[in-house]
Amino acid sequence: MGNKKFIIGIIILIALVGLILFAKAIAPKAKTGKAPLTTQVKKGTKKAPAKKVISKGKGALTVRIINSKNVEIPMRIRAFRAIDSRSSVYMTSSVGGRTQEVMPGTYDIELDTVPQKIFKLVKVAEGKETIEDLGCVTGSITIRTLNAKKTAAYYPVRILYSNTSEMVTAYMTNKTMEIVPGHYDIEIGTSPRLYKKDVKVAAGKEAIVDMGCVVGSLTVKTTDENGKNVRSNVRITKSGTNEIVSSTTSNKPIDLGKGTYNIEVLSNPKQSKKDVKVNTGEELVTEFTVGAPIVLQKPAKPAARIKQ
């Protein structure tokens, strides 16, 4: 009987402990579930940027640049520390938008634009970040050209300083390039070359030079007496000046600017046509009948002598 009471007492004790543990487990769920006000983050607030750590005895320089499309670009930058009003020494290189530690002082900043541009007297203080926002430092230029088929044609282009023969850079028509604002002359590498003078490029704007159709097409067709194509060398010169415009081969179209030309087929004997007119946007074919090329036969080898 005593053992039975003891066992019952243990069971009751275990039940009480279980109830206590269960009550503690569900107690947090009975609360409102809201985080303390001190831990709540207000909507619409921006996280403050982390403060940049600058090495002792140095300052920091960040140069910001945007292109003609108002997009920040990582353009290459070189920093020269000013020694006096006339001279400076190279210190470091970086790219736009990146922070670079430098010694405190006054700097000249050279941008890798076309052509290169320099900003002077940028001051960097010790222990501080200098943000030099240069804004838009370039414009853009696009030269549009069409061939005789009225489709986009890609010709080499030289950009020259206005009223000079000094080249700034080279690229292709129907492509856009960023360039420092200014006035430029354009040389298009057609045959013969075309020019557009005093093209203005403004910061943050695109200068479009629409040349339209700039060439015609000329095919010098050479065949033999049977009408079979024969490849021959061809020379094209300007009428009047006899200046060589192109040296090419027959039976393929070539692009030529509007003008009057002399055509010379270097066959045997030579043949030519004078004052052939080529108009932009037109395809012209001139035909020549030439003799088959002479094939030189190798001399026969002497017969071997038979020893007696």
Question: Considering the domain 216-289 in this protein, what is its CATH number?
Answer: 2.60.40.1120
Q: Which residue has the tokens 């040389």?
A: 187
Tokens matching residue 272: 């030519």
59-136: CATH topology: Immunoglobulin-like (2.60.40)
Whole-number pLDDT of residue 38 = 46
Smallest CA-to-CA distance from 231 within 286, 284, 292 is with: 292
> What is 62-117 written as a DSSP string?
EEEEE-TTS-B---EEEEEEE-SSS-EEEEEEEETT-EEEE-SEEEEEEE--SS-E
pLDDT (tens digit per residue) in 165-219: 999 999 999 999 999 999 999 999 998 899 999 999 999 999 999 999 999 999 9
Q: Which residue has the tokens 């019952």?
A: 8
Instruction: State the Cα angle at 307 between 301 and 308, rounded to 5°.
Output: 145
Smallest CA-to-CA distance from 150 within 214, 220, 219 is with: 214
Instruction: Decide: 253 and 218 in contact? Cβ < 8 Å.
Output: yes
Distance between CA atoms of residues 182 and 13, nearest Å: 95
- Residue 14 corresponds to which amino acid? I
194 CB neighbour count, 10 Å cutoff? 19
β-pairing, 139-146 vs 206-213, is parallel
Instruction: Decide: 216 and 277 in contact? Cβ < 8 Å.
Output: no
Distance between CA atoms of residues 8 and 6, nearest Å: 5
Tokens matching residue 29: 């769920």
Cis peptide before 302 (omega within 30 of 0): no
Whole-number pLDDT of residue 92 = 93
Distance between CA atoms of residues 281 and 267, nearest Å: 29
Domains 59-136 and 216-289 are alike in CATH topology = yes
- Torsion angles phi and psi, residue 93, rounded to 5: -130, 150
Smallest CA-to-CA distance from 113 within 80, 90, 95, 137 is with: 137
Segments of the chain scoring below 50 in pLDDT: 30-32, 34-39, 41, 44-45
Domain ranges of the chain: 59-136, 139-213, 216-289
Smallest CA-to-CA distance from 254 within 215, 290, 223 is with: 215
Whole-number pLDDT of residue 279 = 94
Counts of helices then strands in the chain (DSSP H, E): 1, 21
The mean predicted confidence, pLDDT, of the chain is 85
Whole-number pLDDT of residue 240 = 87
Q: Which residue has the tokens 């080279």?
A: 170
Q: Which residues pair with 22 in a beta bridge?
A: none
Sign of CA dihedral 92, 95, 100, 104: positive
Which H or E run includes 194? strand 194-201
Instruction: Decide: 99 and 60 in contact? Cβ < 8 Å.
Output: yes
Q: Which residues pair with 13 in a beta bridge?
A: none
The structure's pTM equals 0.68
139-213: CATH topology: Immunoglobulin-like (2.60.40)
